[in-house]
Amino acid sequence: MPYFTSPVDGTRLHFVDHGPAEGPVVVFVNGAYLGTEMWEFQMLPLAAQGYRCVGLDRRGHGRSADVWDGYGLDGLADDLHGLLAHLDLSAVTLVGHSMGGLEIVRCLTRHGAGRVARVAFVAGIAPGIVRSADNPYGADAAVVRAANEACRRDRAAFFTASADDYFALGRPGNDVSGAYVQYVIGCCMTATARATAAVQDMIADADVTPEVPKLDLPVLVVHGTHDTSAPLEATGGRVARLAPDVILKPYENAGHGLYVTHADRLTEDLREFMTAR
């Protein structure tokens, strides 16, 4: 399995690299708690179509090393940029789910877009999920902190209780088997307790609102209308208003886990975005 060394502190980080080496490059940035396995319905078809699909297991997630430090947004963004440099990638399409969008924004504003051609936010939580003067539709900070504390007390119960809303299973067309739901819960549990708590604390404080207008490259925003983890108006809708060159694609009835429930549509939208721009 391929690994590289974090430029931040030497942490051993796992990555995957599928498809032809000479193909157009797509780098997938995972949501919280998940590893690169979350992108199976996008990576495999795109790789079969000739794209080079790369993904990083965030520190403390998937098959990357279990470490105590480095979960600040700057450090996570530096890990992502470190992978781009390690593989000497260029003209990259960055695709981030949930908190992966925060890492993408910070990576670009911290390191520039010299290696990146375009970005896609999939159910992203950027610019931030907590209510502020700039984000009146955000969640109350006390509610976010309480949810994080509930997760600390019982991660398994927290992920299990959140699963139906995550996939918006009560909405039409969102058909996910019980077996797959249990699989995703198990994947979430592979993130270490320390990594889980640390990224939750980071998310509770993160606000990249001033950075989004600096994204001087094409941006695709794909977001579910029934995403309770990152409500459209507070997150993806704000990116669409703030970034200078944006395509917004709302998915009716989709939730946070639209990469599964709307897998084929998302794969096609990503492919179209990469070929049209």
Catalytic residue among 79, 227, 229, 262: 227
How far is 248 from 230, CA to CA, in rounded Å?
15
Catalytic residue among 18, 226, 256, 262: 256
Catalytic residue among 14, 57, 61, 98: 98
Question: Is 98 in the active site?
Answer: yes
Whether the bond between 172 and the residue before it is cis, its omega within 30 degrees of 0, is: no
Question: Is 229 in the active site?
Answer: no
How far is 195 from 54, CA to CA, in rounded Å?
22
Amino acid occupying residue 12: R
Spatial strand order in the sheet of 219-224: 3-5, 12-18, 52-56, 25-29, 92-97, 116-122, 219-224, 246-251
How far is 133 from 187, CA to CA, in rounded Å?
35
Q: In the structure encoding, which two tokens stand for residue 224, read together?
A: 């579910």
Question: Is 6 in the active site?
Answer: no
What 139-148 contacts at long range (C-beta under 8 Å, 24+ apart), as own/partner pairs, is 139/234, 141/204, 144/203, 144/204, 145/204, 148/197, 148/200, 148/201, 148/204
How far is 71 from 39, CA to CA, in rounded Å?
22
Q: Where are the alpha helices (DSSP H) in the chain?
A: 40-48, 73-86, 100-111, 141-153, 155-166, 178-190, 193-205, 236-242, 258-261, 263-276
- Residues with catalytic roles: 98, 227, 256
